[in-house]
C-alpha cells in the first residue's frame, strides 16, 4: 500500500459537510464515489481484506463550511497503475465545480492527514451594519445586525489564547478531549468599501463547533451585549456554555493545514493520539489574565471619565 496526499478546496454551500452521510451530498461522499470509479472498483484490498476507498481528512468541516486548504490522504494498493498526477487530472475532469483538486502526491512515511497536522488555520468573515456587502461574496460572509467594536473584540480574542480546555465552546463528543492550544486569534476590518471583518484562528486542532462558538462569544462582546468579565467566566466553565451563540457556517473557511518536517511526522502522530492534560500552572495563568483584564477595564473606565470631564469642560466654554 502507498499513501497519497490530496490537497483540495471546496465551496461548502451545497454540501452536508465533509463526512459521508447516507442520502446526503457530502464532500467525502462525492470524492470517494469518483475515486472508486476511477480506480476501477468500489473496494480496494489490503492484508485484512476488502475495504471501501476511505479518505482521512485534516478537518471534518460541518455543513456549509468552506475549505481553501483542506488536506486528505488515501491508501492506494500496488495494483493501481495511475500516478498521483494522472489521478489528479482525471478527478479534475469529473468532479463538480464546487470541489477542486490542487495536487495529489506520494506522502512521506508516517504521514497522516489528521494526526500529523501541527496546526489548522481558519478564517471567519462578517459584515456588520457599517459594511457595504459584496453580493458576489454573500455565501462566504455572515451578516451580523449591529455595529461591532473591533477593540473590544481584540481584547476578547486575546483572553482566549493559549493552551486550555475549550469545553465551554465545543459540542462534546464521547471519548474526545477538548483541550486545545489556540495559537492565533486576530480580528481585522478591511479598508475597502465592503468593510468586511475577518477573524483568523489557528490552533493545533479544533473540536466540534469550536471556531463558530469562539466567534459567537467575541461578537457578543463586540456588540456590547457582554463584557470581558462574562467571557472569562464562560472560558473557565467545565462544560458547554449555553450562553455562547454558535455563528452560522457560511462565514467559516478552512484556509490552511500545517505539518512538521518529514523527520518529525511520527513524533507528531504519536503526540496527537495520546491523551492530553493541562499543565499545573493553568490556575496561575488564569489569575494573570484576570488581573490584566481587570486593569484594562479600569483603564477604559478612566478614559471614559476623562472624556466626560473634557466634554463637560468644553460645554462650559462660550
Q: Which residues are part of the catalytic machinery?
A: 62
Q: Which residues make Cβ contacts (< 8 Å) with residue 116, sequence separation at least 6?
A: 110, 259, 260, 265, 268, 269, 272
φ/ψ bin of 110: left (φ > 0), alpha (ψ from -120 to 50), beta (otherwise): left
How far apart are alpha carbons 118 and 265 in whole angstroms?
Answer: 9
How far apart are alpha carbons 4 and 74 in whole angstroms?
Answer: 5
Comparing C-alpha atoms, which of 185, 180, 239 is closest to residue 215? Answer: 185
Q: 56, exposed or middle or buried, with CB in 10 Å at 0-12, 13-18, 19+?
A: middle
Angle between helices 210-222 and 228-235 (to 10 degrees): 160
Comparing C-alpha atoms, which of 113, 116, 96 is closest to residue 105? Answer: 113
Q: Which residues make Cβ contacts (< 8 Å) with residue 80, sequence separation at least 6?
A: 39
Amino acid at each position: 500500500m502507498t499513501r497519497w496526499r490530496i490537497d483540495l478546496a471546496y465551496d461548502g454551500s451545497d454540501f452536508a459537510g465533509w463526512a459521508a452521510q447516507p442520502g446526503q451530498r457530502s464532500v467525502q461522499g462525492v470524492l470517494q464515489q469518483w475515486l472508486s470509479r476511477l480506480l476501477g472498483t468500489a473496494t480496494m484490498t489490503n492484508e485484512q481484506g476488502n475495504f471501501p476507498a476511505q479518505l482521512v481528512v485534516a478537518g471534518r468541516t460541518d455543513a456549509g463550511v468552506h475549505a481553501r486548504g483542506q488536506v486528505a490522504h488515501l491508501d492506494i494498493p500496488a495494483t493501481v497503475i495511475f500516478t498521483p498526477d494522472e489521478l489528479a487530472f482525471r478527478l479534475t475532469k469529473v468532479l463538480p465545480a464546487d470541489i477542486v483538486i490542487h495536487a495529489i502526491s506520494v506522502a512521506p512515511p508516517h504521514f497522516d492527514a489528521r494526526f500529523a497536522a501541527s496546526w489548522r488555520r481558519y478564517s471567519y468573515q462578517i459584515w456588520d451594519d457599517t459594511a457595504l456587502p459584496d453580493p458576489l461574496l454573500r455565501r462566504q460572509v455572515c451578516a451580523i445586525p449591529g455595529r461591532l467594536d473591533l477593540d473590544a473584540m481584540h481584547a476578547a480574542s486575546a483572553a482566549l489564547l493559549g493552551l486550555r480546555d475549550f469545553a465551554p465552546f465545543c459540542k462534546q463528543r464521547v471519548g474526545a478531549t477538548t483541550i486545545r492550544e489556540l495559537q492565533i486569534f486576530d480580528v481585522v476590518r478591511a479598508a475597502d468599501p465592503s468593510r468586511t471583518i475577518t477573524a483568523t484562528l489557528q490552533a493545533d486542532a479544533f473540536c466540534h463547533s469550536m471556531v463558530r462558538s469562539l466567534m459567537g462569544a467575541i461578537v457578543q462582546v463586540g456588540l456590547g451585549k457582554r463584557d470581558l468579565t462574562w467571557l472569562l467566566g464562560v472560558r473557565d466553565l467545565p462544560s458547554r456554555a449555553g450562553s455562547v451563540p454558535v455563528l452560522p457556517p457560511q462565514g467559516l473557511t478552512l484556509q490552511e493545514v500545517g505539518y512538521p518536517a518529514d523527520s518529525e511526522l511520527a513524533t507528531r502522530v504519536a503526540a496527537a493520539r495520546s491523551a492530553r492534560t493541562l499543565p499545573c500552572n493553568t490556575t496561575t495563568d488564569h489569575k494573570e489574565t484576570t488581573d490584566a483584564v481587570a486593569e484594562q477595564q479600569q483603564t477604559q473606565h478612566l478614559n471614559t471619565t476623562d472624556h466626560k470631564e473634557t466634554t463637560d469642560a468644553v460645554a462650559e466654554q462660550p
